[in-house]
Amino acid sequence: MFPMPENLPRPELSANTKVVLDKRYCRIENGVKEDARQLFWRVASTVAQEEAKYTTSPYDATALAVKFYEAMIDWQFLPNSPTLLNAGSELGQLSACFVLPVGDSIEEIFDAVKYAAMIHKSGGGTGFSFSRLRPKDARVGSTGGVASGPVSFLRIFNTATEQIKQGGTRRGANMGILRVDHPDILEFMRAKEQEGEFNNFNLSVGLTEVFMKAVEADASYPLIDPASGAVTEQLRAREIFELLVEKAWVSGDPGIVFLDRINRDNPTPDQGEIESTNPCGEQPLLPFEACNLGSINLARFYVAGHNQDADPANKGIDWEGLCDLVHLAVRFLDNVIDASRFPLPQISEMVRKNRKIGLGVMGWADLLFQLGIPYDSEEGVQLAERVMAFVNGAGHEASSQLATERGAFPAYESSRYAAEKKGPYRNATVTTIAPTGTLSILASCSSGVEPLFALCFTRNIMDGERLVEVNPYFENALRDAGLDSAALREAVAASGSVQNMDTLPKQLRDVFVTAMDIDPVWHLRMQAAFQRHTDNAVSKTVNLPNSATKEDIYAIYWMAYEEGCKGVTVYRDGCKSVQVLATGEGQKKQDGTSVQETSVAAASPLSQDSPKRKRPDLIEGFTQKVPTGLGTLYLTVNEMDGQPFEVFATIGKSGHSITAKAEALGRLVSLALRSGISVADVVAQIKGIGGGHPVFRGKGLLLSIPDAIAWVLEHRYMQHEKLTHNVQDLVVEHCPECGAELVFQEGCLICPSCAFSRCG
């Protein structure tokens, strides 16, 4: 790492950027935490010093470090989180995306579990294909027994992930893929029917051309045993496709990826077939491959009145500056490959053989706001194609230049590029549209190529105070129109959208659309526009209103296939048993009542007509001992008429704070039970609440003290009940770290306030 120049400029930080940097990225050395200036210099100088290895480089390494630094602190470009976290550290693992093979033997399966744990520990996410595993109940020749099938082993991977802290800050994330022609495909598609199952996995079904053509023809297709190659059964393809649609409508899981399309774009087919992607689906990789990612903030390349006398299509975008930044970013990401220390020698070999990088974009919605172009418009889609074609073209030019300086990637001669007389290139792939949830918070821009989820949102700060934050471009537009006011801000924060505010100009309402304002077709068309000029894939969510039908999702899936997408994620608002976002006064149900109205009515039957029952002097019950990650829980449950009346929760050998929380939870559960709230509704509210110290219990995990209490109540009193509660459908899921409402975006639950992510 180079010494920091004295005159190095300091980054300008928003209050939120300061919080996220301090909480998630600033390292502590010898008891002293680095500041933002030190952090970005650590990253810039570590990556730039790799330049000294190449005598043909046109850059002095120290001068290049300054250019890298300035690009980051100007929020024009940011690398993926592992690079920000680990560059210049002893760990030195700088890549985000990995794919590991899962072979059809116990040894290979548990090797993959071990390798995944090592990757999660280093801050990476992992993808797996379980398609090589023989189906459930197939004979195992070496033992004479029968196989338990892919889903059973998927559960082992999920449980192992639960125990590993990713990068010391959050849990590992995984992608699990099974081919649609695997005999266990129905079990896989239904794997997440029980809430909380496989919570560390995104699941996707790998669709093939054979299958899609059978869907189109309403024909059957074969299920094939991967061990023997034999056809085990024929299924009607359209029924399977409709089941996929139904699962997406109900919960969003599993997603779909188009395997044949991915492999048609595989630049190194001689090295094998691509079977899986990283956790959010945008980075298809060969087994043991990894990729490092980075994103350009397009919002920083808007220039008011730029190129006014030239082609009108050029107005507002600094194309020359964007080209320069793409070249700089490609050099940065290629250097990251040399700087990174990978957790496995097999990964080091594959990465340095193919040298894949993934340069993408963020701030797309913000650029459209500045240009005054609606997201859901032909002009918006056409500009998306032009911008990404430009980034992709400049990226490949930069990779070609690096190949001249440093040599092509070692597998180039056997690649598709050589066969098609393209290149040579330094990198087998150059572009990827990755999720930028945390990075976009740092850069104060919109995430990836997604529209905004809300124009305003409320942030909880100290002492219960609420702060309404407004998108700066929307704020400027209101100010220019003479409409900015505290009352209007509150109104927009309450609804999240301006589409029903007829007092605002139509042009403003057309431009400032949010994710739920946009017809799903425009979501898909925008994804397809970026995909047409991206080497790898595009991470994006097609957001649907709660009223969307299965036919709507069927149409989106089919359109994704026809438009050339490599996969698609849909999310119907409110579809999961835990609602991930509600703005303001709540989402409206189809009967016109709001979420809050319904949930209060359902969850709070206590009223003047249902008084709290009095406690008798003598009451009988039992005490159950339950292990938790914070100590042994002794839960005493007292009963009346065979039903729980009150509970007392005590944690053995725990601190005063944990003891107090356990006691408070017991009192609140007791109050609910004595007030006539059913056991089922109590369990629905506290079951599945996560914590930092889950432990095994029987066939599953106990995630926290509340989850442990729910486990006792459910297993004692609800063995013969089916747990389906409307009240749970209406609960908003909050960030476990800051309490803000989570958003489903780019295929993952993220917190727009503190940058927490379910996908690691």
Residues 754 and 20 sit within 8 Å (Cβ to Cβ): yes
One of 80, 86, 266, 280 is an active-site residue; which one? 280
Question: Per DSSP, which regions of 536-642 are E strands?
Answer: 541-544, 567-572, 620-628, 631-640
Containing 213, the helix (H) or strand (E) segment is: helix 209-217
Residue 475 — φ and ψ, nearest 5°? -60, -45
Examine the residue annotation and report whether 297 is marked as an active-site residue of this protein.
Answer: no
The C-alpha atoms of residue 465 and residue 296 are separated, in whole angstroms, by 34
- Cα angle for residues 107, 109, 113 (degrees, 5° grid): 110
Residues 542 and 573 sit within 8 Å (Cβ to Cβ): no
**CA-based nearest residue to 39, from 11, 60, 59:** 11
Find the distance separating the first CA and the last CA of the chain, reported in whole Å. 27
One of 278, 292, 297, 354 is an active-site residue; which one? 278
Residues 6+ apart with CB under 8 A from 421: none
One of 282, 289, 469, 714 is an active-site residue; which one? 282
- Distant-in-sequence contacts of 263-272, Cβ < 8 A, 24+ apart: 265/535, 265/566, 266/416, 267/354, 267/415, 267/416, 267/417, 267/428, 267/429, 267/535, 268/354, 268/411, 268/414, 268/415, 268/416, 268/428, 269/416, 270/411, 270/414, 270/415, 271/353, 271/354, 271/411
Helix axes 61-73, 36-48, angle to 10 degrees: 140
Instruction: Tell me which amino acid residue 598 is.
Output: T
Containing 78, the helix (H) or strand (E) segment is: strand 77-79
The C-alpha atoms of residue 129 and residue 23 are separated, in whole angstroms, by 34
- Write out the two tokens for 208: 């093939």
Examine the residue annotation and report whether 314 is marked as an active-site residue of this protein.
Answer: no
The C-alpha atoms of residue 266 and residue 257 are separated, in whole angstroms, by 14
Residues 637 and 711 sit within 8 Å (Cβ to Cβ): no
Residues 489 and 456 sit within 8 Å (Cβ to Cβ): yes
Question: Per DSSP, which regions of 498-611 are E strands?
Answer: 541-544, 567-572
CA atoms 93, 95, 97, 102: torsion sign: negative
The C-alpha atoms of residue 457 and residue 471 are separated, in whole angstroms, by 9
In the numeric block, the tokens 């093939």 are attached to 208
Residues 100 and 116 sit within 8 Å (Cβ to Cβ): yes
The C-alpha atoms of residue 668 and residue 649 are separated, in whole angstroms, by 11
Instruction: Centre a 10 Å sphere on the Cβ of residue 241 and count the other Cβ atoms it contains.
Output: 22
Residues 78 and 85 sit within 8 Å (Cβ to Cβ): no
DSSP 604-628: ---STTSPPPPPPS--EEEEEEEEE
Give how far the C-alpha of residue 632 lies from the chain's centroid of Cα atoms, to the nearest Å.
Answer: 34
Examine the residue annotation and report whether 759 is marked as an active-site residue of this protein.
Answer: no
Residues 6+ apart with CB under 8 A from 243: 186, 189
Q: Return the active site residues.
A: 278, 280, 282
